[in-house]
Amino acid sequence: MKKKRFVLLDRDGTIIVEKNYLSNPDHIELVPGAADVLKKLKKVGLGLVIITNQSGIGRKYFDLATLRKIHQKLTDLLLKNGVVLDDIYYCPHTPEDDCLCRKPKTKLVEQARDKHNFDPKLCFVIGDNKGDIELGKNIGATTILVRTGYGKQIENDELSPDYVVDNLEAVLPIIKNELAS
Ligand SMILES: [Mg+2]
Ligand SMILES: [Zn+2]
């Protein structure tokens, strides 16, 4: 049997509105249309995993318990909109910690791969920032930069993602096309 393919999604600026170190579950705001897109991605048979850098923990802006509440709320919110997330992986470190899990490093993807049994090279990595695109390149995946969040500011940096789109909605035809080819 063919392995299920996965979409590796960034959280802030991609699925939820970028809030600069979101630390309150009540401040979660889905990017308009995001839930619908995720639902459609599931419907074409893709797995959905969030991979997120949360250095706010390492910087002591908020704690792990708060992050768990935020992720529970996000999971519930998506569920209410008909989306079952497969998993959420986070790096709690700061860049100075020099850990192995902070995007664009690949440890979180490796953990997700071991648990969910997918081929990283066949993944779609979607995000609004440099680290997302670099992560995608590091694992040999298809990379899509969205212009929400920080995407617009960094799209002219020398990143060369495979695709640049205005928003998550525009990701759908690209992925469907890739799946068909
Ligand atoms: Mg982001
Ligand atoms: Zn880390």
Q: How close is the Cα of 126 to the center of ligand 1, in Å?
A: 9
Distance 65 CA to ligand 2 centre (A): 17
How remote is the CA of residue 18 from the centroid of ligand 1, in Å?
7
- Taking the domains of the chain in order of start, what are their residue ranges? 6-121+134-180
| Dihedral sign from CA coordinates of 103, 136, 176, 160 | positive
* Token reading at 122: 């066949």
134-160 confidence digits (pLDDT tens): 999 999 999 999 999 999 998 888 889
Q: Sheet containing 87-91: which strands, arranged edge to edge?
A: 87-91, 47-53, 6-9, 124-127, 142-146, 163-165
pLDDT digits (tens, 9 = 90+) for 83-111: 999 999 999 999 999 999 999 999 999 99
What amino acid positions are annotated as catalytic residues?
A: 10, 12
For residue 13, report the distance from its CA to the centre of ligand 1, in Å: 4
Instruction: Decide: pTM greater than 0.85.
Output: yes
Please name which ligand lies nearest the alpha carbon of 147.
Answer: 1
Q: Could you check whether the bond before residue 104 is cis, i.e. omega within 30 degrees of 0?
A: yes
Q: Match domain 6-121+134-180 to its CATH number in 3.40.50.150, 3.30.70.100, 1.10.390.10, 3.40.50.1000.
A: 3.40.50.1000
pLDDT of residue 86: 98
Note the ligand closest to the C-alpha atom of 145: 1
Query: Whose atoms come closest to the Cα of 126: which ligand?
Result: 1
Task: Name residue, tokens 């997330």.
Answer: 85
178 pLDDT higher than 90: yes
User: For the residues 30-58, what does the mean pLDDT come to?
Assistant: 97
